[in-house]
A and B are shown apart, each in its own frame.
Chain A
Amino acid sequence: NAGVTQTPKFQVLKTGQSMTLQCAQDMNHNSMYWYRQDPGMGLRLIYYSASEGTTDKGEVPNGYNVSRLNKREFSLRLESAAPSQTSVYFCASSGWGQDTEAFFGQGTRLTVV
């Protein structure tokens, strides 16, 4: 039972480079999320998708784009990476009703130099 699979686990980018973080869940969840975690800041929501075909901005969306490719997959793209985007990124998914609990991927540690 894989849960939420997030790749890659680690990445180093140069300023200005682009990359896509991949996330897939196998729990048939409707909602998916992308968070970033910085020291002393908790987890801040970048984008979320309440259901297939919809995406919405969270607290810190600038510099990022997302795609909800299908119900399983939700990717995060950095078009032109900046040092301020150095962070740990988490993908998560959640269901509704009795499935109201978010499951998380293992995180991606991204360093932009």
Chain B
Amino acid sequence: AQTVTQSQPEMSVQEAETVTLSCTYDTSENNYYLFWYKQPPSRQMILVIRQEAYKQQNATENRFSVNFQKAAKSFSLKISDSQLGDTAMYFCAFMNSGYSTLTFGKGTMLLVSP
């Protein structure tokens, strides 16, 4: 079974600074997908960024980028120019290529302060 580990229960950053959230996973699969989801206080789950394991290039979405290290099974999220609206719980998630299940980490609560 796959496992996803987020070792930082809480993090804080000041507006306009950069922050990196860590995620490691364990799998014997070679093809899979990795995701970062954001959950603001509204409770809605919002996809931030997605990475296909077969792609060596790191995914980027505006201020959000990932550092995908396949050999190390590491998938960190970097948020640049942090904004107050980035305050949320962030979940790392894994889906294998068989599309069967989506496995989540326990989450990192990010607080962005003025």
Specify the chain A residue showing the minimal Cβ separation from B99: A96
Assess whether A101 is interfacial by the CB under 8 Å rule.
yes
Q: Which of A31, A40, A102, A106 interacts with B44 by CB under 8 Å?
A: A106
Q: State how many angstroms separate the Cβ of A74 from the closest Cβ of chain B.
A: 14
Give chain A's interface secondary structure class.
strand
Q: Is the CB of A45 within 8 A of B103?
A: yes
Residue of A nearest to B106 (CB): A42
> Is the Cβ of A104 less than 8 Å from the Cβ of B101?
no
A30 vs B45: C-alpha distance when bound (angstroms): 19
User: What are the residues of chain B within 8 A of A94 when measuring CB–CB?
Assistant: 95, 99, 102
Known A88-B43, A100-B95, A101-B35; contact A50-B100, beta-carbon cutoff 8 A: yes
**Cβ–Cβ < 8 Å partners of B44 in chain A:** 104, 106-107
B50 within 8 A of partner (CB): yes
A50 near B43 with CB under 8 A, answer no
B68: CB under 8 A from chain A? no
Q: Which residue of A40, A43, A100 contacts B91 across the interface (Cβ within 8 Å)?
A: A43
Name the one of B6, B43, B102, B105 contacting A102, with C-beta atoms under 8 angstroms: B102
Say yes or no for B64: interface residue by CB 8 A criterion: no
Residues of chain A contacted by B100 (CB below 8 angstroms): 31, 48, 50, 56
Tell yes or no: A61 within 8 A of B by CB: no
The reply to whether B101 and A43 contact each other, CB–CB distance below 8 Å, is no
- Chain A contact residues, CB within 8 Å of chain B: 30-31, 33, 35, 40-45, 48, 50, 56, 58, 88, 90, 92, 94, 96, 100-102, 104, 106-107
In addition to A101-B35, A102-B102, 10 A-B residue pairs with Cβ atoms within 8 Å of each other are A31-B99, A33-B101, A41-B106, A42-B104, A45-B103, A48-B101, A50-B100, A88-B43, A90-B45, A100-B33
